Amino acid sequence: MKESVVATILFADLVNSTEMSKNLTLHEYDDMIIDFQGTMYEIVSHHMAHFGYAGNGTDSYWSIAGDELRLFLYSGSTLFDARNALIIALKIKLGWLASTFNDRILKEGRIVSRIGVGINCGKVIKDVREWRVRMGEYCPAIEGYAINVAKRIESTSRDGTSYQIMVGDSIYRKCHESGSLKVAFGQPRGLLFKGLGQKIPVYEIVSFINFEIMSTMPESLKEGLVEKMQYAVTQPMADPWIFITLLREYVSLISSGQYEYLEEHAVEVAEQALEAVEYRPIIYNMLGRFHIHGKSIRNLDMALQYFVQSLNLEPRNEAALAYKAKILELKGKPDLARQTYKEMLLHNPRHPEARKKVEEYSA
């Protein structure tokens, strides 16, 4: 039955695969494609089952052909679908980094093969075509303008300088409206796409906070993943997103209080990241957290200094403001803490912790 649905659309493919094919034998290129397709299948199928998608065209549909993944999510909740598309985007990049093909590339000292991602949201037509039924295929055909835009957004990922995950204005607005999707974006690029006749704003993800990424990776890919990221960041021209993802894992481990041996190494990696990552507030925030939660390196003055550096670059950075306020409380400076909480409310009047703290101080 033909119906109109709001879908979150994700396109992902290998960056520069055509150029790579010139330097590989036919069998080597085929091995790369097989590895890519197998990795995409394992990650997406595992994720969809874990997060409750029925699949088979009911609330989602996805396919892999050549070096491209196409994913359509239409559960009825655009926020839920956008969130899952963002998680999948990073998972497939992590999975491909850990793949057999890239493992060999890394050991040979070559630059790893990358995946570019484009995500968009909009109305599409979902319909099971009669000719496909005759071929024994009952999955729906999905068509619409939003798909064309998503594909063109994905094509811009080659120019990305952080995650190489690009989103359209619909996803950008959904992230800002919800407040539950902790995503930071670079400056919008107004790009004129051939055939669309107008400029479309495109945003690159520069930071993404979601601790379900590592924990919900397939077990076969999770093993040794941290070690592979650790090795990748020691190589020339390491991708910025690898630094950020690795450091986020270090934050989780050190915050648990059981990984004291990692603390000094985590600080060293973060200082490296300051040279590799353009969006530095997130790195300053993580350095601050290391000095709050660490045992051997705990230093509230140092932590406060890092959060202030973050705020110098991005005065509205909510995480930096929250940690600054907490440190000022711990240091016995309630007036400065209250002032910081009030500043948080200026930027986000609905922030629950800041509202509670300001009320407590007023009382």
For each of the domains in the chain, give its residue range(s) and CATH number, in order of start.
3-214 (3.30.70.1230), 233-362 (1.25.40.10)
Per-residue pLDDT at 244: 94
Per-residue pLDDT at 122: 95
Local confidence pLDDT in tens for the 363 residues of the chain: 688 899 999 999 998 777 777 777 888 888 889 999 999 999 999 999 999 999 888 899 999 999 999 999 999 999 999 999 999 999 999 999 989 888 887 777 777 778 999 999 999 988 877 777 677 777 778 889 899 899 999 999 988 999 999 999 999 998 887 767 788 999 998 877 766 667 889 999 999 877 678 889 999 888 889 999 998 898 888 899 999 999 999 999 999 988 999 999 999 999 999 999 999 999 999 999 999 999 999 999 999 999 999 999 999 999 999 999 999 999 999 999 999 999 999 988 888 899 999 988 887
d(Cα 285, Cα 276) in Å, to the nearest integer?
Answer: 16
Q: Which helix or strand (DSSP H or E) is residue 61 part of?
A: strand 60-65
Classify the C-alpha dihedral 156-225-38-44 as positive or negative. negative
The number of residues in the chain equals: 363
Written as one letter, the residue type at 26 is L
Q: Give DSSP secondary structure letters for 187-198.
A: --EEEE-TTT-S
Classify the C-alpha dihedral 86-91-97-100 as positive or negative. negative
Predicted TM-score (pTM) of the model is: 0.90
Per-residue pLDDT at 96: 93
Residue 302, both tokens: 């140092």
d(Cα 203, Cα 156) in Å, to the nearest integer?
Answer: 10
d(Cα 59, Cα 72) in Å, to the nearest integer?
Answer: 8
